Amino acid sequence: MSPANLNESSDSDVGSLNFEETKLTLGLPGVECRGTAAESGGKSGVKRGFSNTIDLNLRSSSSGGDKRCGGENDVLGSAKPPAAKTQMVGWPPVRASRKNVMRSCKYVKVAVDGAPYLRKVDLEMYNSYQQLLGALEDMFSCFTIRNYLNERRIMDQVNGVEYVATYEDKDGDWMLVGDVPWKMFVEICKRLRLMKSSEAIGLEFILQEHLPRTQVQVEEEDICEGVTVAVQRLLVSFNLVPLV
């Protein structure tokens, strides 16, 4: 995903946040101009505002509505803006030898529905799914992990919202975390997404409406678990990519 795509989708998202969260799109999640999440939201707004000064000015008034974005544009009049979107020569001032310090290994992006920014985890640091999910819980510390070893589900105790850990594999399919052996998972996982269970259910109903009944397979399992798992399998079998 190039920065260009990122900017387009998020600029149109700014004015209508809640709706966008549940809508199926192919854009990247989370990186929006939000006033509340002070650090990341303000920062991402600022960052984009700076490097795309011209773009934001031409686009919707919704970006001006965010104090940080708008303020950023005003105050910047004096300093010299760098070339938009292109990497500046010699900035940040980091020597060439320091540019590739990250291990040539398995850092994958983790997106959590509802969080304003992504994180990255190094899958090679963990030896099991349990360790990974524990680390994710630490990272997005508003969630606590439920002790269901078979479910790969994470629960937000504050809001009572359940999350399902999913991942995109090498073929670009979205899979439920936990089916394959850990080492294979590390090998094939390209990115992670903690998806709201409720959203998974919502999607299932959308699908049911648009597809002939014979093609919908819902397993006869416990309502909570089964729906989640089944929806995952539906998504996979219909090659639908959820909001990431």
Q: For residues 78 and 217, which CB has a smaller minimum distance to another protein in the complex? A: 78
> Three-state DSSP class for 84?
coil
Q: For residues 80 and 213, which CB has a smaller minimum distance to another protein in the complex? A: 80
**Binding of another protein by 38 (CB under 8 A):** yes
Instruction: Give the binding range for another protein (CB under 8 A) out of 93-101, 177-185, 213-221, 235-243.
Output: 93-101
- With b for 16 or more beta-carbon neighbours within 10 A and e for fewer, the 55-76 pattern comes to bbeebeebbbebebbbebbeee
- Sole binder of another protein in the list 89, 150, 170, 213 (CB under 8 A): 89
Give the single-character DSSP code of 96. Answer: G
- What's the CA gap between 15 and 200, in Å, rounded? 24
Look-up of token digits 């070339």: 83
Quick one: tokens of 164? 């399902």
Give the single-character DSSP code of 211. Answer: S
Alpha carbon of residue 139 to chain centroid: 14
**Binding of another protein by 120 (CB under 8 A):** yes
- Sole binder of another protein in the list 125, 142, 211, 216 (CB under 8 A): 125
Q: How far is CA 216 from CA 113, 163, 191, 195, 231, in A?
A: 26, 23, 27, 21, 10
Beta carbon of residue 63, minimum distance to another protein (angstroms, whole number): 15
Q: How big is the site for another protein, counted in residues (CB under 8 A)?
A: 51
Instruction: Give the binding range for another protein (CB under 8 A) out of 14-22, 42-50, 55-63, 212-220.
Output: 42-50
- Sole binder of another protein in the list 23, 67, 183, 190 (CB under 8 A): 67
> Three-state DSSP class for 7?
helix
Binding interface with another protein (CB under 8 A): 1, 3, 6, 28, 31, 38-40, 42-44, 46-47, 50, 67-68, 71-72, 75-76, 78-82, 87-99, 101-105, 109, 117-120, 122, 124-125
